[in-house]
Structure 1
Amino acid sequence: MMDRTMAMWGGGAAITLACMRPSSASAAFDSPQQRKKVPGFVDIVVEVPKGSFVKRLPHGAVDYVGPVPCPFNYGSVPAIPAPDGDPLDAIILGNHLPYGYTGKVKVKGVMKFIDAGLVDDKLICTQLIPGAENGTGRNGEFSDPASEDLTMLDLFTLTSFFNVYTACKSTLNLMRGKAGRTAYEGWELFEQ
C-alpha cells in the first residue's frame, strides 16, 4: 500500500509529479466535493485499445495517429460530462480491450490535463475480474475484486506516456489552429 505522500506526489527521484493546478485553470476534480460526485464504478466505452496507435473520435472517425502505442485502454464515460461538454475521458488499466468495448470499471484516481487551455482530466480506472460485476456486496454494492493499489510502475507508465502525449497534442493543436496551453499536470489517487 502506498503512503499518502507517494499517492499525492509520485514519490521517488525518477518521477516528479506535482499535482497542483495553476489558479487560472478550473479543474474537474480539485475539491473533495467534486471528487465525491464520481462513483466508485463507472461504465466506459473503449475508443483506443491498449497497444493501438490510432485515436478515434466517439463516432469512429480517426482523430489522429500517435507516434507511440497507447500503453493502456483509453475511452470515455458517456454518463459523466467533462468540463468541455464531451464525455469524461477514462484510462483503463489492465488487459487489452477491443475498440467499442463497453463495461464497468473501478475508478482509482484522475490524471490532470489541460488541452488547448481547457481542463481535460481523465479518470484512472482498473478492470474488474470477469463476472465480478454481477456479484454484489453488502447493501447491493458492487464487489471490489479490482481494489489493488496502483503500482509505481503503473504511475510511471502513465506519467511517461502523458509527457510524450503532451508534446504531440501541443503540436497537433497548433496545426489545427487551437490556442491555449496544453499540459500534463500530474495525477491524484482518490481515497478508497
Structure 2
Amino acid sequence: MQPHKLLLAALLLALPCLSSAANLQPNPKPGLWLSEENTLVNGRDILQELKEMRQAMMKSLPKDQRAHAMAILGDDDPSSQHKCFTPEMAAALTTPEAILAEANQQMPECEFTTQQTSGNSLQFSGQCNDPEGFIGDMHGAVEIVSSTEIKSTFQGTGSYKPPTGMLRDGKDRSDITMENTSVSHWVADDCGTVEPQTAR
C-alpha cells in the first residue's frame, strides 16, 4: 500500500469503529463536502511536493501534450478533494459497525482500538503489520465539530517497504514517520457532477 493510500485509509478508520461505542453526534449533513489535508512524511510535505512536481511536469510538456496528460492525471489538487455523501453514507459516518466493516476491507493488515472521549470526538490507536507495506504504530483522533465540519489528526511511526524499483541505499525497508491533519467542510446539498463513492 502506498503511503498516500495508507494515510487515507487510516483517516477513514479514525472514525468510530468499535462496535460497543455509541454513535458520534451530531450527524454530518449529506451532500457535497470538501476535505483539505496536510501530510508530512519524515517532516516533508508530500502533498505539496506532489503538487509542485505535477505543475513542473505540465510546464515542461509541449502545449499539444498537456491536454492529453491532464486527461490521464486529472487536474485535482492532491491536498483537497470533493466528496459526495448520500443521506445513508452521512449517517454511516457515525455508525461504528459500518465504519469497522469498511476499515477492515481497506486495511486488513491493521488492528485498531478506539476510545470515545466525548459525544462528538474519539481517539484511536493501533498496530499495522504489512510485510509488503507499513509496519508500526498509529494513533490519532477525530472530532465532528458540527454537522458541517469534521476534523481529524493522525500519526504513524514505523517502517515502510517502498514499491519495487524505489528502494534506497539498498535497504529493503525505510524508517518512516507520518503526520496528517484533515479538515472537511460541507459545501452544498447538491453534489453536482461529483458522484457518491461506492464501497469496494
TM-score by structure 1 length? 0.27
Structure with a larger share of its residues in helix: 2
Structure with a larger share of its residues in strand: 2
TM-score by structure 2 length? 0.27
Please tell me whether Structure 1 or Structure 2 has the larger radius of gyration of its CA atoms: 2
